[in-house]
């Protein structure tokens, strides 16, 4: 199955696997293993919840998949590339196809909401830049209740607002893969569902999504595949998720 | 555009520090320009001193006192840029301060021609011209005076001191610029990780650090430009009051060019320092381990 990352086209394997983890472990100095021999695949266009208690290793797993940090052992493949062997230029291309929503949001504090989103779009490559207009960004901001915060500096936003901007930033890039680390954690209920609606809309359009969450209500209402983390190990459950 | 907005971060975080840095850069640029200009002017002064001679052309006693004829003859030989001064018997006598001595000499001169007549020539002479003057039938002998060589030597020494100072100040300016650029680049450390994570190419990571340092350099250069321009115009207008008149070769055209050059130098040095300091930051960056 051919799959194009803007300038480069790669062939995903016969099962159309976009993310493949094999025996991935992660440990930090003087700390127990956060992840222990984790293996699973996510197909192109798939949706996966990552569930687990506090300190179960959800954020570490997501950071590894998002190319933010390497695993201590094991292999991670993204879009058919083994991340341990890619060149910097390929890594850059992979990152352009990602929409990562980190837990700490990572906005540039002295740029406005609009500029943060537009800057991220401009870095995603010419193809995305040409297709994402100002009105598209405005539409996203409207959908997340941020239209009146458009020119506010990122450092003046509340936690919930920052998270929504991070979601808007990821969606505006029209990524192939969205990795969201508890994007609803600091949201009021009214925004949780508008945010999930936007993510589901992107998923329906073909975007692969990995979502770490604590929110049982979301998992119960929008039934999808789950990866449940416990004691560093992962269990994949197809529809009903318990943790 | 967003990157340029981001480049203003150092000015938002520490405006006074950036402004003072620009002033210091401007002052050093000004000093650099002044020293360069001074040593350049000294070069022409030294060359003038080294090349200018005074010739005393003594006229034969047998030649009648034909002032105009002899002066014109020599002028046609040496060209229009040479000063020619006739010193006949009466002029030599008139130059003597003691009246008694003058009267005695005048009395003696009526019997035998005692007082030498000569023509003083001031300018630059080639060996060929000198030989032609010597070959003139009216000329008895020619003496050359080069009493400015010691002054020229002193100016040469001064010029070398100025050149050493110039290099020293340039080094100080370069190092200072690099430090400012390093400080500015560190303001963007977190942004570099974010930009790299969103797939920004290496040239994009350079933009904030380079542009912010370029701004410091450009502002410093503008400060130097204004002071240099105003100062030069003042010297041009009130040149007579300055002892430096005659050493400085100030022309309005030169003032314009040199002030624009100072401004461009500031911007260019800022840009180079920005590239170097951003490079040191980016070089140490681990693309595979981004801290968001």
| Full DSSP string of B179-224 | HHHHHHHHHTHHHHHHHHHTT--HHHHHHHHHHHHHHHHHHHHHHH
Predicted local distance difference test score (pLDDT) of residue B234: 78
Q: What is the DSSP letter of A112?
A: B
Q: How far apart are CA B59 and CA B70, in angstroms?
A: 9
**Cα torsion at B155, B157, B163, B165 (round to 10°)?**
-110
Tell me the whole-structure pTM to 2 decimals.
0.70
Q: How far apart are CA A179 and CA A173, in angstroms?
A: 13
Token pair of B175 as six digits: 């190092």
Among the listed residues A170, A154, A145, A182, the one whose alpha carbon sits nearest the alpha carbon of residue A58: A182
Residue B79 falls in which region: left (phi positive, over 0), alpha (psi -120 to 50) or beta: left
Task: Let me know the angle formed at the C-alpha of A177 by A172 and A183, rounded to the nearest 5 degrees.
Answer: 70
Nearest CA in chain A to B189: A108
Give SS3 for A154: helix
Count of A–B CB contacts within 8 Å?
60
Q: How far apart are CA B5 and CA B201, in angstroms?
A: 18
Mean of pLDDT over chain A: 84
Q: How far apart are CA A107 and CA A103, in angstroms?
A: 11
Best probe of the A interface among B1, B4, B195, B198, by most A CBs < 10 A, is: B198
Among the listed residues A47, A39, A38, A46, the one whose alpha carbon sits nearest the alpha carbon of residue A16: A46
User: Which positions in chain A touch B190 (Cβ < 8 Å)?
Assistant: 108
From the CA of B272, how many Å to the nearest CA of chain A? Answer: 25
pLDDT in tens, A167-201: 999 999 888 899 999 888 877 888 888 888 889 99
User: Which positions in chain A touch B11 (Cβ < 8 Å)?
Assistant: none
**Cα torsion at A11, A17, A19, A20 (round to 10°)?**
-100
Q: Mark yes or no for CB contact B198/A91 under 8 Å.
A: no
Q: How far apart are CA B259 and CA B265, in angstroms?
A: 10
In degrees and rounded to multiples of 5, residue A85 shows phi and psi of -115, 0
Could you give the ipTM of this predicted complex? Answer: 0.81
Query: How many residues are recorded in chain B?
Result: 292
User: Which positions in chain A touch B289 (Cβ < 8 Å)?
Assistant: 68-70
In degrees and rounded to multiples of 5, residue A145 shows phi and psi of 65, 35
Q: How far apart are CA B179 and CA B25, in angstroms?
A: 12
Helices then strands, counting H and E runs in chain A, come out as 8, 12
Contact B244, B235 (CB under 8 A): yes
Burial of A87 (0-12, 13-18, 19+ CB in 10 A): exposed
Task: Let me know the angle formed at the C-alpha of B188 by B285 and B278, rounded to the nearest 5 degrees.
Answer: 55
Nearest Cβ partner of B199 from A70, A95, A115?
A: A95
pLDDT in tens, A153-172: 988 998 888 999 999 999 99
From the CA of B46, how many Å to the nearest CA of chain A? Answer: 57
How many Cα atoms are found within 13 Å in the side-chain-facing hemisphere of B165? 17
Rounded to whole angstroms, what are the CA distances from A162 to A87, A152, A190?
A: 32, 11, 16
Nearest Cβ partner of A120 from B198, B287, B292?
A: B198
Q: How far apart are CA B49 and CA B64, in angstroms?
A: 35
Q: pLDDT of chain B along its 292 residues, tens only?
A: 778 888 888 888 888 988 999 999 999 998 988 888 888 878 777 777 766 677 888 888 777 777 778 788 888 888 777 778 888 777 777 777 777 777 777 777 666 666 778 888 877 677 788 888 888 888 888 887 665 666 777 888 888 999 999 999 999 999 988 888 888 888 888 888 888 888 888 888 888 889 999 999 999 999 988 888 888 777 777 765 454 555 555 555 666 777 788 888 889 999 999 899 888 888 877 766 666 6
The Cβ of residue A213 has, within 10 Å, a number of other Cβ atoms equal to 21
Best probe of the B interface among A79, A100, A106, by most B CBs < 10 A, is: A106
Give SS3 for A66: coil
**Cα torsion at A91, A95, A97, A100 (round to 10°)?**
150
Strand-pair partners of B119: B57, B86
Helices then strands, counting H and E runs in chain B, come out as 11, 4
Nearest CA in chain B to A89: B201
Among the listed residues A108, A117, A113, A129, the one whose alpha carbon sits nearest the alpha carbon of residue A171: A117
From the CA of B287, how many Å to the nearest CA of chain A? Answer: 7
pLDDT in tens, A114-128: 989 988 888 887 666
The Cβ of residue A160 has, within 10 Å, a number of other Cβ atoms equal to 17
From the CA of A115, how many Å to the nearest CA of chain B? Answer: 6
């Amino acid at each position: 199955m051919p799959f194009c990352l803007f300038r480069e086209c790669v062939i995903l394997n016969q099962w159309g696997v976009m993310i493949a983890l094999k025996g991935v472990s992660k440990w930090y100095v003087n700390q127990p293993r956060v992840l222990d021999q984790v293996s699973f695949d996510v197909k192109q266009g798939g949706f996966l919840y990552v569930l687990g208690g506090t300190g179960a290793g959800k954020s570490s797993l997501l950071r590894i998949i998002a190319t933010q940090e390497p695993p201590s052992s094991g292999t991670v493949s993204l879009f058919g590339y083994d991340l341990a062997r890619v060149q910097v230029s390929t890594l850059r291309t992979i990152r352009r196809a990602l929409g990562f929503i980190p837990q700490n949001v990572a906005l540039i504090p002295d740029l406005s909401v609009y500029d943060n989103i537009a800057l991220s779009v401009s870095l995603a490559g010419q193809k995305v830049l040409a297709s994402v207009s100002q009105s598209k960004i405005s539409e996203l901001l409207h959908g997340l209740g941020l239209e009146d915060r458009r020119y506010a500096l990122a450092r003046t936003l509340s936690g919930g607002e920052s998270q929504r901007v991070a979601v808007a930033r990821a969606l505006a890039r029209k990524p192939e893969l969205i990795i969201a680390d508890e994007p609803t954690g600091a949201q009021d209920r009214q925004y949780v569902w508008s945010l999930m609606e936007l993510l589901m809309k992107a998923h329906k359009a073909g975007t692969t999504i990995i979502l770490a969450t604590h929110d049982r209500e979301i998992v119960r209402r929008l039934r999808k595949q789950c990866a449940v983390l416990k004691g560093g190990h992962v269990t994949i459950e197809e529809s009903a998720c318990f943790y | 555009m967003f990157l340029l907005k981001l480049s203003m971060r150092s000015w938002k975080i520490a405006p006074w520090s950036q402004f003072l840095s620009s002033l210091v850069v401007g002052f050093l640029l000004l000093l650099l320009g002044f020293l360069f200009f001074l040593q350049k002017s000294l070069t022409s002064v030294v060359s003038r001193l080294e090349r200018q001679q005074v010739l005393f052309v003594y006229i034969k006693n047998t030649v009648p006192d034909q002032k105009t004829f002899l002066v014109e003859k020599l002028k046609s030989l040496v060209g229009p840029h040479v000063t020619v001064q006739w010193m006949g018997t009466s002029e030599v006598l008139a130059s003597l301060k003691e009246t008694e001595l003058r009267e005695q000499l005048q009395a003696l001169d009526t019997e035998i021609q005692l007082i030498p007549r000569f023509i003083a020539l001031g300018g630059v002479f080639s060996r060929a011209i000198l030989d032609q003057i010597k070959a003139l039938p009216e000329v008895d002998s020619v003496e050359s005076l080069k009493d400015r060589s010691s002054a020229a030597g002193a100016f040469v020494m001064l010029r070398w001191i100025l050149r050493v100072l110039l290099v020293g100040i340039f080094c100080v300016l370069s190092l200072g610029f690099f430090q400012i650029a390093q400080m500015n680049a560190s303001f963007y450390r977190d942004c570099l990780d974010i930009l790299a994570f969103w797939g920004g190419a290496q040239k994009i990571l350079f933009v904030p650090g380079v542009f912010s340092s370029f701004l410091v350099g450009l502002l410093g250069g503008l400060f130097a430009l204004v002071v240099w321009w105003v100062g030069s115009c003042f010297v041009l207008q009130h040149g007579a009051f300055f002892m430096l008149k005659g050493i400085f070769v100030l022309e309005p055209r030169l003032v314009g060019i040199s002030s624009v050059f100072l401004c461009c130098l500031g911007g260019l040095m800022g840009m180079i320092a920005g590239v170097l300091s951003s490079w040191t930051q980016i070089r140490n960056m681990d693309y595979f381990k981004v801290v968001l």
